[in-house]
Amino acid sequence: MFHIGLIEDNPSEKLLFEIAVDELEFSEDETISIFEDDKQLLEYLDRSGKFDLLLLDVNIGSISGFDILKLLKGMQVNFPIVMYSNSNNPDDLERSRVLKAEAYIQKPYDFEQLKDLLQNFQAHINNNTLLPFLQNESFIRKYGRAQ
């Protein structure tokens, strides 16, 4: 059982994510919610409360993903937040570290890698090993950067 949130405003990247989720055929109690902006996310949090993991796009149309990260950390949310970006800009990596994101990963470069990433999240959330997984050297080499 898990719930992953994704904030992504790019329609093609949202569609790719949705197709990957559909192909993986998660069970009914394994859900992924996709939000277009901070307003949708905050409305959801006001109603329901939490995720097992939130993937937060760095570049969202009207507001920076870093601004959302700062807001959520100020709210003292109790779920890991991973910055999720096409960028490998060292300044973005440093900013996510300073703002206390659990990890910074580059968006997968192909569909199979996206499905692999989602399956890894599924396994580690279900086994209660997500945080160590995000800091593991093999995760960092395969998907991005740790904080």
Please report which confidence band the pLDDT of residue 81 belongs to, taking 50, 70 and 90 as the band edges.
very high
Give the H or E element holding residue 112.
helix 111-126
Please say if the pLDDT value at position 132 is more than 90: no
**Residue 83 β-bridge partners:** 56, 104
* Cα-only R_g, the chain: 14
Give the global pTM.
Answer: 0.89
Please report which confidence band the pLDDT of residue 140 belongs to, taking 50, 70 and 90 as the band edges.
low
**Residue 139 β-bridge partners:** none
- Phi and psi for 52 in degrees, rounded to 5? -90, -20
Question: What's the confidence (pLDDT) of residue 146?
Answer: 44
Give the residue from 134, 31, 41, 126 showing the smallest Cα distance to 80: 134
Please say if the pLDDT value at position 137 is more than 70: no
At residue 5, what is the residue type? G
Q: How much is the average pLDDT of 127-133?
A: 88
Task: Return the percentage of the chain with pLDDT > 90, whole number.
Answer: 32
**Residue 34 β-bridge partners:** 6
Q: Quick one: fold of 2-146? A: Rossmann fold (3.40.50)
Round to whole Å and give the CA distance between 69 and 147.
14
Specify the long-range contacts of residues 25-29, CB closer than 8 Å, at least 24 apart.
Answer: 26/122, 27/1, 29/1, 29/2
**Is 118 within 8 Å of 24 (Cβ atoms)?**
yes
Q: How much is the average pLDDT of 83-101?
A: 87
Give the residue from 100, 103, 115 showing the smallest Cα distance to 32: 115
